[in-house]
Structure 1
Amino acid sequence: MNITIVNFKGGVGKSMIAHQLISGFGFNGCEIDPYGSLSDRLPDRVERIDIQQKSIERPKKETIFDFGGFDDIKLDQAISYSDLIIIPFIPTLETIQGTVDTLVRVASANKPILMVPNMSQKENDINDAKFVFEDTLGFEVEMFPIPMSVALQTAINENRAVDELTKQGGIKAYAYKKSSKLMDDLHRKIREYESV
């Protein structure tokens, strides 16, 4: 399956999720973000699309489109090639409006949407965001929360899948197990959309 990861708000975890899916689960990547570093970190797996480029070629299967915080025609193309849209967001008042703008923009494509509250700390914040999103759209959205995690940030910094870090042994392995399980659960949740 192909997946578009998008939010017009920056710093919400788009590239972190893309990195973990590509490095840990064998996806290919297509980086459509002039400020992104995914193609530098994973050059054998990720193709960078120039901001001036007008179109995206049909990708191989199992491709993640990591879309930067902007809107243009390539977003429509990425979504048309995708089976699922993932919208990461941080459940705070400051990021909700940008996320609503993104949701409204992509909802008309009639593709499944998985909301990923990233760095979530309070369940009430997630529930409030869910209410706003569903009230705006008029239909239910599914949430997959990712709690605040130093392990995931470390995995990005070390340019490795968090699952790989669990295999190091010792205290470090224990610290990464929870985040590794979370990424496995996210991957399983994504695969549920294959049959939709």
Structure 2
Amino acid sequence: MNITIVNFKGGVGKSMIAHQLITGFGFRGCEIDPYGSLSDRLPDLVSRIEIQEKYLSEPGEETIFDFGGFDDIKLDQAISYSDLIIIPFIPTLETIQGTVDTLVRVAQMNKPILMVPNMSQKENDINDAKFVYEETLGFEVELFPIPMSVALQTAINENKSIIELTQQGGIKGYAYKKSANIIRDLHAKIREYQSN
């Protein structure tokens, strides 16, 4: 299964989600973000595609395209190789327009879209964003919320899977368990979109 993670708005959790899927579930990564650090953090698992390159080579199985906050021909290529598009967003007024622009751009590719409200705190904000997205697109979108989590940021800082951190045992392992279960559930949700 191949996945494109994209939002033209920066700072919404694209690389965090990519990092956790790569470190926790064996995906390979393809970073298409001149400001990204995923390939620096995981050099054996993530290849960097320079912005001036015009073409993506066909990926192997289980590849995640971590697409930075810009639009070019490589986005079409990544999506054409993908079974699912994940669009993370922060459910605030400031990020809605960038996310709408992304949705309009990728919806024309006719691939399944999973919206991920990241660092979500208020259900009303998520529902308001969902309303805007569905009004814009004219069809329903599926959401998978990821609540605000210090544990996930710790996993990124330590360059590990949150699932690996739970295996440390003790209070630390217990503290990370809820976030690890959310990432496991996200992975299970992603697998529901897998092509047969």
The two structures have a TM-score, normalised by structure 2, of: 0.99
Pairing 1:89-104 to 2, within 5 Å after superposition:
89-104=89-104
Q: Distance in 2 between matches of 1:61 and 1:108?
A: 24
Q: Distance in 2 between matches of 1:54 and 1:136?
A: 30
Q: Distance in 2 between matches of 1:177 and 1:85?
A: 27
Q: Distance in 1 between matches of 2:62 and 2:169?
A: 30
- Whether 1:164 aligns to 2:164 is yes
Q: Deviation of residue 194 (structure 1)?
A: 0.6
Pairing 1:109-188 to 2, within 5 Å after superposition:
109-188=109-188
**Code of the aligned partner of 2:55:** S
Provide Cα deviations, 1:102-126, integer angstroms capped at 9, x if missing partner: 0000000000000000000000000
Pairing 1:49-64 to 2, within 5 Å after superposition:
49-64=49-64
**Code of the aligned partner of 2:189:** K
Give the match for residue 86 of structure 1.
Answer: 86
Q: Distance in 2 between matches of 1:152 and 1:34?
A: 23
**Code of the aligned partner of 2:157:** N
Q: Deviation of residue 149 (structure 1)?
A: 0.2
Q: Deviation of residue 195 (structure 1)?
A: 3.7
User: What secondary structure sits across from 1:193 in the alignment?
Assistant: coil
Give the match for residue 10 of structure 1.
Answer: 10
User: What secondary structure sits across from 2:119 in the alignment?
Assistant: strand
Provide Cα deviations, 1:74-101, integer angstroms capped at 9, x if missing partner: 0000000000000000000000000000
Contact preservation (8 Å) 2:36, 2:68? yes
Q: Deviation of residue 170 (structure 1)?
A: 1.0
Q: Distance in 1 between matches of 2:18 and 2:85?
A: 12
Q: Distance in 1 between matches of 2:54 and 2:194?
A: 28
Q: Distance in 2 between matches of 1:110 and 1:35?
A: 28
Q: Deviation of residue 136 (structure 1)?
A: 0.2
Q: Distance in 1 between matches of 2:195 and 2:129?
A: 27
Q: Distance in 2 between matches of 1:21 and 1:169?
A: 22
Q: How many residues align?
A: 196
The two structures have a TM-score, normalised by structure 1, of: 0.99
**Code of the aligned partner of 2:143:** M
Provide Cα deviations, 1:122-160, integer angstroms capped at 9, x if missing partner: 000000000000000000000000000000000000000
User: What secondary structure sits across from 1:50 in the alignment?
Assistant: coil
Q: Distance in 1 between matches of 2:145 and 2:36?
A: 23
Structure 1's consecutive aligned runs of 4 or more residues displaced over 6 angstroms after TM superposition are: none
Provide Cα deviations, 1:50-95, integer angstroms capped at 9, x if missing partner: 0000000000010000000000000000000000000000000000
Please provide the CA RMSD for this pair: 0.6
Contact preservation (8 Å) 2:83, 2:195? no
Q: Distance in 1 between matches of 2:124 and 2:113?
A: 21
Q: Deviation of residue 169 (structure 1)?
A: 1.1
Unpaired runs of 5+ residues, structure 1, are none
